[in-house]
Amino acid sequence: MNSYNENDMHNQNEQEEVVDQEVEQVEAAQISDLEVCQQEAAMWKDQYARISADFDNYKKRMDREQIQWMQTAQTMVIKDLLPVVDNFERALSQKTDDTANLYVGIEMVYKSVLQTLAKYGVKEFAEYKQFDPELHEALMHAQSADHESGQIVQVLEKGFMIKDKVLRPAKVTVAQ
C-alpha cells in the first residue's frame, strides 16, 4: 500500500507541476497580451497627438492664409482708389470764383476718401527730399540750381504706403 500511496503522491505531484506550468503559461500569455495592449494604446495615443498637432497647424495656416488673402484683396482695392485721390487733387487745384461752391463739395468727398484710406493704414509719403529707389520712381532728370544731385525736384504723382509697405511709389523728377 505504501507504494500505491507513493505512486499516487508522485502522480499528484506531477499533475500539480503540470497545472503550475499551465498556470504560468496562461499568466505569461496574459502578461504578454497586456504588454501588447499597452504598446498598442501608446501607439494610438501617439498617433492621436500627431494628428491633433497636424490639425492645429492646419487651422493656424488657414487663418494666416485667410488674413493674407484679405490683406491682398484690400491692397488691390486701395491701389485702384489711388487714381481717384489723384483726380480729386487735380480737381481741387482748379478752383476759381465760379467753381467755389463745387470746390467745397469736392473737398468734402476728397477728405472722406482720405479718411477711409487712413482707416485701412494707408498714408501718403511724408517726405520728398532725397531720392530713394525703394520709395520713388524717377521719371525724369532735370537741372536745378536749387537742388543737389539726387534730390527730388518735383513730385509728379504722390506715393502711398500701407502699414509700412510701399503701396505705390511716388513718381518724381530728380536733380542731376
Q: What integer is the mean pLDDT of 50-57?
A: 96
Give just the sign of the alpha carbon dihedral 147, 150, 155, 160.
negative
- Per-residue model confidence as pLDDT tens digits over 75-87: 999 999 999 999 9
Q: What does the pLDDT read at residue 76?
A: 93
Q: What integer is the mean pLDDT of 84-99?
A: 88
Give which of 134, 143, 138 is closest to 171, Cα–Cα. 138
Q: What integer is the mean pLDDT of 102-107?
A: 89
Domains of the chain: 122-175 (2.30.22.10)
Q: What are phi and psi of 173, to 5 degrees?
A: -105, 135
Q: What integer is the mean pLDDT of 114-143?
A: 91
Residue 93 clears pLDDT 80, i.e. is over it: yes
Q: What does the pLDDT read at residue 2?
A: 54
